Homo-oligomer: A and B are copies of this chain.
């Protein structure tokens, strides 16, 4: 071997060490890197404020707003911040520091809306001038700007205002213009402008008869009670009415819907001509829905168009949508065939046709392409999702659902429906933003976000399916393995679980939906495991409603199947299995620790439901019925009754201002354990609601981590 050969030889010998040294230079992400609220949280790159102005794509920035041609991708500068600030200064208005919040609401006008506290400012970017300034009171909440009329509805305290005129004048205990029925049934606001802006429908909720739950604010000089009206399962609930306010006359009528006791008024929508208001009404049992049409002038019921019943529950979550090209027809969404699909009805209530069909579900209707008579929507099943069109006349979809890939999509449709902003992620891609032509779904790339964890030592993510406890249903799981995973080692496992309805933890999106804490713990040498048991979402009706009247039981059996699977893996240390979850996942965590004490050694439950009788009426009774009508179910699922079975280490964390799952759950469980002489641990996060958000989220996860490190 000559000299050079020797050098090369030694260089080659040293290579693994060098690579190793390089790898060691890469650092593991910290909780601050991984969790929202962390000082160095690594958001995936994004294009904030991306939107449509007609069929032109608007891309705002700090200093500029560009319009992008959806076919060519060519950018054209519309306006600069300097121009806008000059115009603002000319009207003695506050300057803006960035342009991400602008709204292009009028496809046919060169105008944008700027919002500042208490102000709606309309700016004409062709004339370069402020054309209108609308002021509302600083304390205004729940602001709802009407694009058609320029009016603003909002609330102050418990009353409704429109354009600074007080619409309602109700005492404490009656709330107007706000969310009702505790955000269930797809309700996410309390005011509904008619299409032309002439009328405003709004909710009025009388909750004066609802018992108050006392949450104590310990930051006051002397602890103070913050009461929250919280109707618990089986107890007296609030009563809702729907009002219609006419700004022109200043008059309000209320729909004559009859006695509101034990009824839900959901999914409000207007007819295009503003003459009718449509609601989906539900009985308290939530097993019978009615699509009802009311006369918007008189408030009288015109007719009931569609009724649905189910022995378990029906769950309408989407208002009807009228075809833009035919005001006599509308789209109605239903799970009646087992998956959420689109149905075409006419205004006589006649079913014209089922528009979509298949073992997948419509996730979101994005809008219409009027010219081509198409509906554009997002569809999903399990890990697969994508955007689709369906032709209303032919019922044909642009492509079969199965053609879409594992991914997670959201979309915004252009005014004509010809173009779509498609924002999606895949297992390996944090965010892609593309403009898609809805004719052929050809795309122009707007953003390929770089990996936010580039340069960090990252775990690997694997997904797969196992059979549920019923022996037939496929369940998706995700395994997160340490970066330096060695198949010959034995690893402790932590199951992160949610398990409740309306949620999916294993997705086709970035890192298969793994959470920052999963990554952190994998970095510490844990195998992280998550599986979406039956009862979770995006798998169809029967998958979800198998849990009816005994929440947590079937879900737990499925999770045990996950554990059985884990135990078949040679690298899993079956003696070191932990579990963590929050809310429904807190219930699952506690239930798993109690029902399967031989499996789970350590658990950390956050804000758990312990007794469904302490949970609220709308969600609780949908799945559990009432304590009066389902006493066995409430007994079986009341974890206090299992308190004596606790063997492992269980830490329960609750927030002192948890107004979703009140602290009584955890405190009463502690009492049950004390009575039964078992030894859970507990912790309280003061001044937080139904989870720990913001900066304290880092502390929370460090706390959770330490518990597993101490005991698992």
Interface residues of chain A, those whose CB is within 8 Å of chain B, are 211-214, 216, 218-219, 221-225, 230, 232, 235, 614, 656, 662-664, 667-668, 670-671, 674, 677, 679, 681-687, 696, 698-699, 702-703, 706, 710
Residues of B within 8 A of A235 (CB): 221-222
Q: Which residue of B lies closest to A210 (CB)?
A: B222
Cβ-neighbour of A674 out of B213, B671, B696 (below 8 A)? B696
Cβ-neighbour of A671 out of B218, B223, B224, B225 (below 8 A)? B218
Q: How far is the CA of A413 from the CA of B450 in the complex (A)?
A: 89
Q: Are B213 and A222 in contact (CB under 8 A)?
A: yes
Q: Are B699 and A687 in contact (CB under 8 A)?
A: no
Q: Are B683 and A671 in contact (CB under 8 A)?
A: no
Q: Are A216 and B216 in contact (CB under 8 A)?
A: yes
Residues of B within 8 A of A677 (CB): 698-699, 702
A287 to chain B, nearest CB (A): 26
Q: How far is the CA of A149 from the CA of B698 in the complex (A)?
A: 69
Q: Are B681 and A681 in contact (CB under 8 A)?
A: yes
Residues of B within 8 A of A671 (CB): 218-219, 686-687
A667-B674 contact given A213-B223, A214-B216, CB 8 Å threshold: no
10 extra interface residue pairs, beta carbon distance < 8 Å, beyond A218-B671, A668-B686: A211-B222, A212-B222, A214-B214, A216-B216, A218-B664, A221-B235, A223-B664, A670-B683, A681-B681, A681-B683
Number of this chain's copies in the assembly equals 2
A443 to chain B, nearest CB (A): 45
A518 to chain B, nearest CB (A): 21
Could you name 22 residue pairs across A and B whose Cβ atoms are closer than 8 Å? Answer: A212-B222, A218-B663, A218-B664, A218-B667, A218-B668, A219-B668, A221-B235, A222-B230, A222-B232, A222-B235, A223-B662, A225-B225, A656-B667, A667-B684, A671-B687, A674-B685, A674-B699, A677-B699, A677-B702, A681-B683, A682-B683, A710-B710
A685-B670 contact given A222-B211, A222-B230, CB 8 Å threshold: yes
Q: How far is the CA of A671 from the CA of B217 in the complex (A)?
A: 12
A153 to chain B, nearest CB (A): 33
Q: How far is the CA of A136 from the CA of B448 in the complex (A)?
A: 85
Q: Are A223 and B218 in contact (CB under 8 A)?
A: no
Q: Are B667 and A679 in contact (CB under 8 A)?
A: no
Q: Are B702 and A679 in contact (CB under 8 A)?
A: yes
Residues of B within 8 A of A702 (CB): 677, 679
A658 to chain B, nearest CB (A): 11
Q: How far is the CA of A480 from the CA of B667 in the complex (A)?
A: 36
Which 8 residue pairs spanning A and B have beta carbons closest together? A671-B686, A218-B667, A211-B222, A214-B225, A218-B664, A223-B664, A667-B686, A674-B699
A393 to chain B, nearest CB (A): 54
A143 to chain B, nearest CB (A): 32
Residues of B within 8 A of A681 (CB): 681, 683
A690 to chain B, nearest CB (A): 16
A169 to chain B, nearest CB (A): 29
Q: How far is the CA of A432 from the CA of B327 in the complex (A)?
A: 99
Q: Which residue of B lies closest to A683 (CB)?
A: B682
Residues of B within 8 A of A679 (CB): 699, 702-703, 706
Q: Tell which of A222, A664, A706 has the most Cβ of chain B within 10 Å.
A: A222
Q: How far is the CA of A668 from the CA of B685 in the complex (A)?
A: 10
Q: How far is the CA of A706 from the CA of B646 in the complex (A)?
A: 15
A670-B682 contact given A214-B224, A218-B663, CB 8 Å threshold: no
Q: How far is the CA of A218 from the CA of B662 in the complex (A)?
A: 10
Q: Which residue of B lies closest to A224 (CB)?
A: B214
A612 to chain B, nearest CB (A): 13
Q: Tell which of A674, A683, A702 has the most Cβ of chain B within 10 Å.
A: A674
Residues of B within 8 A of A230 (CB): 222
Q: How far is the CA of A698 from the CA of B682 in the complex (A)?
A: 18
Q: Tell which of A214, A679, A682 has the most Cβ of chain B within 10 Å.
A: A214
A327 to chain B, nearest CB (A): 47
A634 to chain B, nearest CB (A): 13
Cβ-neighbour of A682 out of B216, B232, B663, B684 (below 8 A)? B684
Residues of B within 8 A of A667 (CB): 218, 656, 684, 686
Q: Which residue of B lies closest to A706 (CB)?
A: B679
Q: How far is the CA of A522 from the CA of B167 in the complex (A)?
A: 72
Q: Which residue of B lies closest to A212 (CB)?
A: B222
Residues of B within 8 A of A685 (CB): 670, 674
A679 to chain B, nearest CB (A): 6
Residues of B within 8 A of A212 (CB): 222
Q: How far is the CA of A194 from the CA of B230 in the complex (A)?
A: 53
A194 to chain B, nearest CB (A): 39
A91 to chain B, nearest CB (A): 42
Q: How far is the CA of A699 from the CA of B679 in the complex (A)?
A: 8
Q: How far is the CA of A498 from the CA of B459 in the complex (A)?
A: 50
Q: How far is the CA of A698 from the CA of B679 in the complex (A)?
A: 12
Residues of B within 8 A of A214 (CB): 214, 216, 223-225
Residues of B within 8 A of A216 (CB): 214, 216, 663
A114 to chain B, nearest CB (A): 36
Residues of B within 8 A of A696 (CB): 674
Q: Tell which of A235, A662, A671 has the most Cβ of chain B within 10 Å.
A: A671
Residues of B within 8 A of A670 (CB): 683-686
Residues of B within 8 A of A232 (CB): 221-222
A249 to chain B, nearest CB (A): 42
Q: How far is the CA of A648 from the CA of B705 in the complex (A)?
A: 17
A683 to chain B, nearest CB (A): 6
Q: Which residue of B lies closest to A223 (CB)?
A: B664
Q: Which residue of B lies closest to A227 (CB)?
A: B225
A133 to chain B, nearest CB (A): 41
Q: Which residue of B lies closest to A231 (CB)?
A: B222
Q: How far is the CA of A614 from the CA of B706 in the complex (A)?
A: 31
Residues of B within 8 A of A706 (CB): 679
Residues of B within 8 A of A703 (CB): 679
